[in-house]
Amino acid sequence: MNTFETLGLPKPVLAAITELGFETPTPIQEKVIPVLLTGTTDVVALAQTGTGKTAGFGLPLVSLIDFASKSTQALILAPTRELCMQITSDIKNFSKHTRGANVVAVYGGASIMNQIYDLKKGAQIVVATPGRMVDIISRNKVDLSTIKYVVLDEADEMLNMGFQEDLDAILSTTPKEKNTWLFSATMPDEVLRISRKYMHEPVEITVGNKNQGNDNIEHVFYVTHERDRYAVLKRVADFHPDIFGLVFCRTKIETQKVADMLIKDGYNADALHGDLSQAQRDHVMKRFRGRTLQMLVATDVAARGIDVNDITHVIHYQLPDEIENYTHRSGRTARAGKTGISIAIINTRDLNKIRTLERLTKKRFTQGTIPSGYEICEKQLFWLVQRVHDTQVNEKSIESYLPKVYEQLKELTREEIIKRLVSIEFNRFLDYYKNAADLNANAAGGGEREHRPTREGMVRLFVSVGQMDGLTRDSLKTLIAESTGMDENIITWADVKNSFSFIEVKTEVSEALINAIKGKEFRNRPIRIESRGNREEGIPRQRDRGGRKEWGGGGERRGGSGGGYKGRSSSGGGYRGGSGGGGSFRERSGSGGGERRSSGGGFRERSGSGGSREKSGGGGFRERSGSGGGERSSGGGFSKKGGFGKKKDF
Ligand code: AMP
């Protein structure tokens, strides 16, 4: 077993450790200290609080710093003021017997002038929260040009708290030649992105105690606008080319719709819900188990008890109506000691539900950044390269063709061939994601919430139709008037959103209007008008009904009146593929040799300003049907079986 002595720490530091009463290194210290002490490498360490990680980076740091110099050599960034203070105090303890050591903490909520004064005296180590650090940098009160070590402590938490931009700003002002040590309890994509962007071939260190069961699930949520929900799903799939996932929807209709759209967009997906016969369900499950299917879209009920191993992602296309279903859903991944990711696609109103979930499950939920088109292209490119690298060549079968192949390619250099080979696939993604919008909704900004205060004597009503139905403010008023026989002028204000609208009417006519519209349809879709009631506040309350916890919201569950997020239950989530009742958004059909995006251009954006910003079409390529034994939409270039060399429909 290692001791602090054998780890290579210098004498003054060892003396400090003894005084602190540390007898043996913790597992993370054992692993990380020797690597960090080399002072020559970037490190990514997966470590929770309480594992001794502060000493893990603090001890090597005070061993490496040249305290004879007063220049700032190390910057430690941490998410909170408390952590900053804790780290500072620990580092001071570690450097107790080291002459000339000066550690300064800078964080928000305290006098910046005092902190600047402390910095002026010459601090070799600065411990900072990102926001305050940016402030100090912008005032030119710190010289980071001499930085040799940057520590990102609780990196996931910093990103979770929205410090991404600040981190970018800070890291870009530090010298290129430095070591970056990143510590994080979880490793969401955002942390990986930071490590990719700012670190050079980092050594990865994880402490060995594999957590059991649900602790192996990483909980992530993406906040987007309602209209972009499906586009986000596709991005998740595209960003994880080897995804083997379970997508949960709340209703059978929505489940089928999402599966249909995925299939249509070229993904290797299918639906599982109660409207299928037992034989159909068995068939779907067989394909999923056999990994012929890469994404299974399912209802909570149908997916109960699915015991498929190695599911990499559980995606909550919508959060479940009943809270405990979240745990059931997520538990489909990370089985048998494996790890898995549970991703919830939510809109800004659902943020409270995430907080409720965090409280109830005692798990931390990280807000993820929806991958950009650029990141997806990059990911796909390297995945493709990896597949080329790993492809097993059937020497015997290909042998006789090779002379002709070589002949055909003889004018091309090796580099040219590589470039062209990967471009065959890469270009599709580039085309598709070129100019792709940022789908992240500003969580703090309230997304689609309506902030205009309702005037006195008026009531605001929710209407289940919107721009997607081809409606404008005026035509919505006319539609309501014609459908109810009431005067158009009773509507004093209207706000037409993408898939729903709000109107204001006098309180005394609201009930009559709600009743008069009942049973009316527009383009085969029922028009519903409901009082927003408590939903306006958007504060879901957890209630216990018949032993089942539900998200509150001042009304019944989906399908009834009220309920925070049931606006479009009948239409299944803010988009309507081709089958939708004449809305302005239609899926492409039959353009360019098939209905998949693989044909490149020709995607149709939703018309109307509020339409989806993601093109229709979607992910992977499909193998020609027939290869999977005549199954519907079989194959998909993403499946393990679907080798790169197989015939594809482009
Ligand atoms: P941390 O994860 O850095 O917050 O550390 C958790 C707690 O463990 C702190 O109170 C440290 O002082 C303590 N600690 C760190 N390393 C050791 C060690 N090797 N032996 C005993 N206690 C330690």
Q: How do 313-316 and 648-649 pair as beta strands?
A: unpaired
- The atom of ligand 1 lying closest to the CA of 51 is 2
Task: Specify the pLDDT at position 335.
Answer: 63
The one-letter code for the residue type at 249 is: C
* C-alpha to C-alpha distance for 183 and 48, rounded to whole angstroms: 9
**Residues contacting ligand 1 via CB (< 6 Å):** 22, 25-26, 29, 49-55
Token code pair at residue 441: 């909704």
Do the Cβ atoms of 351 and 224 come closer than 8 Å?
no
Provide the residue ranges of all domains of the chain, joining segments of one domain with +. Answer: 11-206, 211-244+310-449, 458-534, 563-650
- The atom of ligand 1 lying closest to the CA of 47 is 2
Tell me whether domains 11-206 and 458-534 share a fold. no
CA of 36 to the centre of ligand 1 (A): 18
Do the Cβ atoms of 130 and 77 come closer than 8 Å?
yes
Task: Specify the pLDDT at position 444.
Answer: 40
Element (H, E) at 548: strand 548-551
Which region among 87-96, 349-358, 620-629 has the lowest average model confidence (pLDDT)?
620-629
The one-letter code for the residue type at 569 is: S
Return the bridge partners of 316, or none.
248, 344
CA of 255 to the centre of ligand 1 (A): 48
Task: Specify the pLDDT at position 307.
Answer: 67
Fold (topology level) of 11-206? Rossmann fold (3.40.50)
Is the pLDDT at 144 greater than 70? The verdict is: yes
Question: By alpha-carbon position, which residue is closest to atom 5 of ligand 1?
Answer: 52
Is the pLDDT at 489 greater than 90? The verdict is: no
Confidence of residue 327 (pLDDT cuts 50, 70, 90): confident
Return mean pLDDT, the chain. Answer: 77
Q: What is the dihedral of CA 78, 444, 559, 512, to 10 degrees?
A: 160
Mean pLDDT on 520-528: 84
Q: How do 74-77 and 125-128 pair as beta strands?
A: parallel
Confidence of residue 128 (pLDDT cuts 50, 70, 90): very high
Task: Specify the pLDDT at position 454.
Answer: 66
CA of 84 to the centre of ligand 1 (A): 16
Strands, sheet with 149-152, edge to edge from the N-terminal-most edge strand: 103-106, 125-128, 74-77, 149-152, 179-184, 43-46, 203-206
CA of 25 to the centre of ligand 1 (A): 9
Residue 346: closest CA among 262, 272, 256, 439: 439
* Segment 383-418, tens digit of pLDDT: 999 989 999 999 999 999 999 999 999 999 999 999
CA of 433 to the centre of ligand 1 (A): 46
* C-alpha to C-alpha distance for 34 and 45, rounded to whole angstroms: 13
Which region among 358-367, 453-462, 593-602 has the lowest average model confidence (pLDDT)?
593-602
Is the pLDDT at 51 greater than 50? The verdict is: yes
Task: Specify the pLDDT at position 188.
Answer: 73
Token code pair at residue 118: 């402390």
Mean pLDDT on 96-112: 92
Task: Specify the pLDDT at position 181.
Answer: 97
Is the pLDDT at 164 greater than 70? The verdict is: yes
- The atom of ligand 1 lying closest to the CA of 49 is 2
- The atom of ligand 1 lying closest to the CA of 50 is 2
The residue with greater pLDDT, 586 or 364, is 364
CA of 50 to the centre of ligand 1 (A): 6
Task: Specify the pLDDT at position 553.
Answer: 37
CA of 18 to the centre of ligand 1 (A): 13
Task: Specify the pLDDT at position 525.
Answer: 77
* C-alpha to C-alpha distance for 531 and 461, rounded to whole angstroms: 5
Return the bridge partners of 179, or none.
149
Question: By alpha-carbon position, which residue is closest to atom 12 of ligand 1?
Answer: 52
Rg (alpha carbons) of the chain, rounded to whole number: 28
Best residue for ligand 1 mutational test, from 6, 7, 54 (most atoms within 8 Å of Cβ): 54
Task: Specify the pLDDT at position 337.
Answer: 54
CATH architecture under which domain 458-534 falls: 2-Layer Sandwich (3.30)
* C-alpha to C-alpha distance for 299 and 281, rounded to whole angstroms: 12
Half-sphere exposure of 421 (CA within 13 A, CB side): 17
Mean pLDDT on 351-379: 87
Do the Cβ atoms of 481 and 450 come closer than 8 Å?
no
* Segment 229-276, tens digit of pLDDT: 999 999 999 999 999 999 999 999 999 999 999 999 999 999 999 898
Element (H, E) at 197: helix 189-198
Helix locations, 319-394, DSSP H: 323-330, 351-361, 373-390
* C-alpha to C-alpha distance for 464 and 612, rounded to whole angstroms: 18
Task: Specify the pLDDT at position 10.
Answer: 95
CA of 258 to the centre of ligand 1 (A): 48
What's the pTM value of the predicted model, to 2 decimals?
0.41
Mean pLDDT on 352-375: 87
Best residue for ligand 1 mutational test, from 26, 86, 154 (most atoms within 8 Å of Cβ): 26
| Phi and psi torsions of 180, nearest 5° | -115, 130
One CATH from 3.40.50, 3.10.350, 2.60.120, 1.20.120 for 211-244+310-449: 3.40.50
Task: Specify the pLDDT at position 636.
Answer: 30
Mean pLDDT on 26-43: 94
Question: By alpha-carbon position, which residue is closest to atom 6 of ligand 1?
Answer: 50
Do the Cβ atoms of 77 and 128 come closer than 8 Å?
yes
Task: Specify the pLDDT at position 214.
Answer: 53
Confidence of residue 134 (pLDDT cuts 50, 70, 90): very high
* C-alpha to C-alpha distance for 599 and 592, rounded to whole angstroms: 6
Task: Specify the pLDDT at position 2.
Answer: 81
Q: How do 245-249 and 103-106 pair as beta strands?
A: unpaired
Is the pLDDT at 635 greater than 60? The verdict is: no
Token code pair at residue 31: 């692993």
Instruction: Say which residues have a Cβ less than 8 Å from residue 359's Cβ, sequence separation at least 6.
Output: none
- Strand segments, DSSP code E, in 589-642 are 622-623
- The atom of ligand 1 lying closest to the CA of 48 is 2
Is the pLDDT at 309 greater than 70? The verdict is: yes
What does the H/E/C string look like for 25-53?
CCHHHHHHHHHHHCCCCCEEEECCCCCCH
Best residue for ligand 1 mutational test, from 5, 19, 20 (most atoms within 8 Å of Cβ): 20
CA of 51 to the centre of ligand 1 (A): 6
Task: Specify the pLDDT at position 194.
Answer: 87
* C-alpha to C-alpha distance for 289 and 284, rounded to whole angstroms: 9
Mean pLDDT on 429-458: 65
Instruction: Say which residues have a Cβ less than 8 Å from residue 312's Cβ, sequence separation at least 6.
Output: 240, 242, 243, 244, 245, 333, 340, 341
Task: Specify the pLDDT at position 50.
Answer: 59
Question: By alpha-carbon position, which residue is closest to atom 20 of ligand 1?
Answer: 22
